[in-house]
Structure formats: structure tokens, C-alpha cells
Amino acid sequence: MSCIALFTIASFLCGISPSLPILLIARVIQGAGGGGLQPMAQAIMADSFDEKHRGQAFALYGLVAVLAPSIGPTLGGWITDNYSWRWIFYINIPVGILALVLVSRLVEDPPWIKTDIANLRNLDYIGLGFLTLAMAGMQIFLDKGEQDAWFASNFIRFFATMFAVGMVGLIAWEWSRKNPIMNLKLFKYKNFAICCLLMLLVGGVLNAATVLQPQFMQALLGYTALKAGEALTGGGIALLIVMPLAGFATGKFAARNLVVIGFAFFAFSFYYTSTHTTLSLSFGENTFLRILQMVPIPFCFIAITNAAYVGLPREASNQVSGIINFVRNVGGSILISLTGALVTDRTLLHESRLQNSMQPGNIAYTSQLNGLTGAFMSMTGNQHGAHTRALASIYQQLNEQASVLAYADIYRVLSWVSLLLIGFGLLLSKNKPGEGAPAGEAVH
């Protein structure tokens, strides 16, 4: 309830922000409140359902968890194009108030949760400090690395060092604590450790794809924010259909099998996208590509979430849900930053290669240059000006083609990553459908 209240109040502060610095501060407060909501919701689900029914419960939970990023671009684009960006934040206020009322009336803590002020006094503040240090260093390192030439910059080296020191400190401190803010000893359980790795990359590919496709449509196809969001809506509709089916499948098939099927479909969908990414993509084709990318998500998301709790005591639910959601968000941050940097790097590489063809001896290049020069000459009557405009037009085409090839490269990389994850999925313990795997399967 505290997180909901903080998130709702911060949303209001974001909406009324008079300047960018104030908006950034309000966003930090909003993140502090919102960051705890998803793992706590997942922990409540795990506490409320036994293993036989947990898969279908996670299907309903997962529906909203992965549907939101699909609806968000459409709704956000519509609000931005027709009203003001401030309403993107104001819209959270009535939802937050309703959520606060419902939680206060309907949600109860399980008996093993002790809610008193001593928990706040005894919070692992040092662990939280190391975690904050590490994540802040990682985020700035990834976001600014490509812009500042990576390790050639003292600025980037500082934050890379900050990340490394924070992570080493976090691991050393948390491992010895009785009540750590992040129970790293859970990684001794093979299933949990593998699920964290898989969820890290599920979050990565989901968020990367959600950023890449609208970015491609707006930058190269000339779509508005609203139209790009509408093209992603088909993926949300696909999730509405597939998510309940995936929840039902968890009661019929082992989680390991569903994970393998999901990542195999991921690999196919990203490879197919890489071969069909062109400047001639229609709105319908963009929608179809988004649907392909969304179909495997429920199978991976639900199966991995369900398998993460296998063999662990119910008292660990809060830690399990917290860490699983944490690695998913970290994976999203990592792959969004890396794919953004790769798009830039691969674009420059393809530009260099394509420029090698822009030589007088190249018949196709010479023919197009002469044709464009003649066309511009007929409009302006200026030979030199027409030649300059023709060169500029060809160079613009070169830039666009280089960018298209770069996006295709990134989708191909995501396909390779998905293939790699099939192997990790096979390492999961094979559980009976709808039931947990052997309890206590720890790796010491």
C-alpha cells in the first residue's frame, strides 16, 4: 500500500513538473514506489495458490505484466498526439487510488510475514546501498558507453568501476547476512539459478523488441507515435489469446518443455523478422511481425516464473519474486542499451561498406546518379545544383539502407540468443505437469 501511494503521488508530481530536472526527480520517486509493486504482486500470487493452480494464476498475472508494454505505446502515442505528455502521468492517479482501496480491503499477509516497525529499522541498508551503487553504475555505463566511446572515456570507466565495486560489495555482504535484502543463497538451487538467467534474457528480448520495432517504424518508415503504437497492438491481442492457453498448458506439460518451445519460437520469430525488415514493410506486415514476437512470451514467462519456485519453501516467495522481477528488469535495461548501441555501430559499418559501391566505375551507381541529376535538372535548370541534389538523395538512400541492415542484424543476434537459451532450458529439472519438481534440489 505504501508503494502504491508513493507511485500515485509521484505520478501527480511528474505531471505537474515545471522543468526537466524536477521531472527526473519525480520519476526517481515514482520508480521507488513502482519498483516494488510487481514483485510483491507475484509473491502474493505464489502465496495464494498451490503448485497445481499456480500456473493458471501466473497466466492471469502475466497477462497484465506483458500486455502493459504492448498497450503502452499505443495509448501513450494517442495521448501524446492528441493531448499532452502530462496526461501519461495523470492517468495513473485514479488507477492508483482504486488499487489502494482494493488492496486495503482484499489483500491479507500470510501468517509467516511479520509486519512491524522493527522490519524497517532492521532493513539491510548496506546491502541496499551496494545494490543501488551497482545498478546506477551499470545503467549509466550502458546508456552512455556508446556515446562516449566506452572505455576510452574516463567518465565511462568511472561508472564501470562503480558497477564492479557495487556488485562485489553486494555479493560479499549479502552472502554473510542473516536477513539480506537479496538472498543470494537461493542461487544454490539449480532451478532457481537457471530461471533467473532465462528471465534475465526474456526481459531483455521483450524490452529490446518493444523499443526496436517502433523506433524502426518512426525513424525509417515515417510513422507517428500513435501509428507505431497501433502497429504493436496486434501483439497485445495475441497475448490475450495465447496467455490463457499457456496457463492451461502448464497443467499439461512440464515447465522445461514449455520453455524450450517458447525459445525455439522466439528464435524463429526474430530470424523471420530479420529477413523481412525492409523499407517497404506495410502496416499489416509490421503488425504480423509484432504478433510473431509476442506469441512465445507467455510460454516462457509463465513456465519460468512457475519453475523458479520449485523446491523452495513458501517463506522464500518474497525473495524469489523480488529477484526474478529484478533480473527481468535488469535484462531489459541491458539489452535495450546494447541493442541501441549495436544499431548505431552496425549502421556505421554498413554505411562504410555501401560507400565502397558509390564509385564512378559502378554502373548501377552511375546510372542512378545520372538519372537523378537529369530529373532535378529538368525541375531547376541548374546543372551543378541538380548534381548536388542527386548526390544528397543517393546518400540519404544509403543511410536508410544501412540502418535497415543494422536492424536486421540486431534481430538476427536476438535469434541466436534465443537458440542459446534452448540449451539452458533443457537444464531445468523435469517436473510433473502442474506440480513442483523434487524439493530442495540445491547445488553446493
Q: What is the 8-class DSSP label of residue 124?
A: -
- Residue 56 half-sphere exposure, CB side, CA atoms within 13 Å? 9
**What is residue 434's predicted lDDT score, i.e. its pLDDT?**
53
* Chain segment 264-304, per-residue pLDDT in tens: 999 999 999 999 999 889 999 999 999 999 888 888 888 88
Question: Range with the lowest mean pLDDT among 111-125, 150-164, 172-186?
Answer: 111-125
**What is residue 438's predicted lDDT score, i.e. its pLDDT?**
38
Inform me whether the pLDDT recorded for 350 exceeds 70.
Answer: yes
* Statement: the pTM of the whole predicted model exceeds 0.85: no
Q: What is the 8-class DSSP label of residue 281?
A: -
Instruction: Read off the pLDDT band of 248 (50, 70, 90).
Output: confident
**What is residue 405's predicted lDDT score, i.e. its pLDDT?**
93
Inform me whether the pLDDT recorded for 393 exceeds 90.
Answer: no
Instruction: Read off the pLDDT band of 406 (50, 70, 90).
Output: very high
Nearest CA among 35, 37, 58, 34 for reference residue 48: 58
Cell of 424: 539452458
Q: What is the 8-class DSSP label of residue 432?
A: P
Q: How many CB atoms lie within 10 A of CB 430?
A: 11
Q: Amino acid identity, residue 194? A: I
What's the rounded Cα separation, in Å, for the pair 327 and 198? Answer: 9
What's the rounded Cα separation, in Å, for the pair 363 and 378? Answer: 22
**What is residue 161's predicted lDDT score, i.e. its pLDDT?**
94
**What is residue 210's predicted lDDT score, i.e. its pLDDT?**
82
The angle at the Cα of 207, spanning 90 to 73, to the nearest 5 degrees, equals 40
Q: What is the 8-class DSSP label of residue 16?
A: T
Q: Amino acid identity, residue 384? A: H
Average pLDDT over every residue of 357-386 = 70
Nearest CA among 251, 246, 253, 248 for reference residue 300: 246
**What is residue 208's predicted lDDT score, i.e. its pLDDT?**
85
Average pLDDT over every residue of 2-11 = 94
**What is residue 112's predicted lDDT score, i.e. its pLDDT?**
63
As a three-state string, the secondary structure of 50-68 is: CHHHHHHHHHHHHHHHHHH
Name residue 442's beta-bridge partners: 189
Output the furthest CA–CA distance in the chain (Å, rounded). 85
**What is residue 443's predicted lDDT score, i.e. its pLDDT?**
40
Average pLDDT over every residue of 118-129 = 78
Helix axes 383-425, 317-355, angle to 10 degrees: 150
**What is residue 47's predicted lDDT score, i.e. its pLDDT?**
76
Cell of 362: 559502378
**What is residue 283's predicted lDDT score, i.e. its pLDDT?**
92
Average pLDDT over every residue of 88-113 = 87
Q: What is the 8-class DSSP label of residue 299?
A: H
Average pLDDT over every residue of 20-33 = 92
Inform me whether the pLDDT recorded for 155 exceeds 70.
Answer: yes
Cell of 325: 522481477
* Chain segment 330-345, per-residue pLDDT in tens: 888 888 888 888 888 8
Mean pLDDT of the chain: 83
**What is residue 384's predicted lDDT score, i.e. its pLDDT?**
66
**What is residue 41's predicted lDDT score, i.e. its pLDDT?**
80
The angle at the Cα of 380, spanning 377 to 386, to the nearest 5 degrees, equals 45
Average pLDDT over every residue of 21-33 = 92
- Residue 350 half-sphere exposure, CB side, CA atoms within 13 Å? 21
What's the rounded Cα separation, in Å, for the pair 318 and 321? Answer: 5
Q: Amino acid identity, residue 211? A: V
**What is residue 441's predicted lDDT score, i.e. its pLDDT?**
43
**What is residue 442's predicted lDDT score, i.e. its pLDDT?**
43
